[in-house]
Amino acid sequence: MRKIVNPPDLKLFVFYGLVLVPTFFLCYERNLSFFIVIVSMLLTSVIEIPIYKFRTRKPGYSELEAMRIGEFYDVPVAEEMHKDNERRYKTTVTLNMGGFIIPLFCSFYLLISYRAFLLEEVVMSIMLMTIFSYMLSEVKGGVGIVIPSYVGIFAIPLGLILAAPLELPLENIAGVLIFVPAIFGILLGIFIKLATLPEEKVGSAFFNIGGIGSFHSIFLLSLLALLIGTVT
């Protein structure tokens, strides 16, 4: 069962860790603070903070379907479906430490630092990323809100286009016009999807905001923003 602290997806955890090793040598003279943020996101991605509970309908999966979906998303779908022997989940909404709390605080810090210069461009980019994220996200029965890992990449060309007339250093573009809009857009898209979820919609025992179903899109974009801001 999903808990406050959960074991990581070992293969992806190791993969991201290996990618961060050469990334460190690119960043140790510059962007080291952003690198530390990225590492902290990965290490704390196993922590979920519960904030809210409500009820959703359990999906009508067979044992085999529940097992396969659970294996694919690395969640105990079959166990959660049969808990309490009820037809509805006691759904818990949680905030992931590495995929929600840390990147959100970092985004606020960057936004406050540059609000006087890039507020209009950032707001426009956030709105577009929110729409994009909401349209591509889906509620997967037994898993939660799932968003494709490639969604955040949309912020890269968008940020470069908006920054073109401003002649900003690539480091600033990566932080405030790529990272910030992507993080706010993805998280807002997920929250809107959750807020507009119909009562009879098939749900999940947990909606892990920034965690299962969305962490990879957030972390991948954060890693790309770090690399873009470093290789200048």
Secondary structure class of 146 (helix, strand, coil): strand
For helices 155-163 and 215-230, angle between their N-to-C axes, nearest 10 degrees? 40
pLDDT at 231: 78
Q: Do strands 144-146 and 138-140 pair parallel, antiparallel, or not at all (unpaired)? A: antiparallel
Q: Do strands 206-209 and 88-96 pair parallel, antiparallel, or not at all (unpaired)? A: parallel
Spans of the chain, pLDDT less than 50? none
Q: pTM for the full model? A: 0.93
pLDDT at 201: 79
Closest CA to 30 of 231, 176, 221: 231
pLDDT at 164: 80
Closest CA to 213 of 84, 58, 77: 77
Residue 170 CA to residue 189 CA, distance in Å, equals 26
Encoded amino acid at 99, one letter: G
Residue 203 CA to residue 218 CA, distance in Å, equals 22
pLDDT per residue over 137-190, tens digit each?
Answer: 999 999 999 999 999 999 999 999 988 887 778 888 888 999 999 999 999 999
pLDDT at 115: 63
How far does the chain reach from its first CA to its final CA, in angstroms?
A: 45
